[in-house]
Amino acid sequence: MWIKEIFLILIFGSFGFIVSAGVFTVLLAVGLIPRFAGKTHTGDHIFLYEEMVVAGSIIGNLWSVFQLSINLGQWFLILFGFFAGIFVGCLALAIAEMLDTIPIFARRIGFRHGLGIVVLSVAFGKMLGSLIYFFYRLASP
């Protein structure tokens, strides 16, 4: 009985390590952490940032596996959602920039000025859509 459980722990633990290694590879290939450090002029703390990403990933995985719940209130949830959205948006833009999709698309459609406004409008629309979705309780089971 114990042999089967140990085998499952080893197999699925290694799958988790492979997936997390892939996520970290994408973060390193995109250069998201050095980009944040460059924008905030805190390049001397880049190793701290990388360690915090690793620590956050480990804590998030443990939190997900053991299904922990902490009731910190709705304001903490709003704050977490705000920062998680910033991270996902920056990651998506960094990947798009790495692939040069935004400049190529802007050149092909003849778009010269206001690209930043378009990106902000898309972000605002996504935020507004998610607020409507959750405030009207469309996400409730």
What is the pLDDT averaged over residues 56-80? 81
- Alpha-carbon span 5 to 80, nearest angstrom: 35
Q: Answer for the pair 3, 29: CB distance below 8 angstroms, yes or no.
A: no
Helix (H) or strand (E) holding 102: helix 101-108
Each residue's pLDDT tens digit, 1-30: 788 888 888 888 788 777 777 777 777 777
Question: pLDDT at position 2, please?
Answer: 83
Largest pairwise CA distance in the chain: 66
90: buried, middle or exposed (CB in 10 Å: 19+, 13-18, 0-12)? middle
Tokens for 106, please give them: 């802007």
What is the pLDDT averaged over residues 83-101? 76
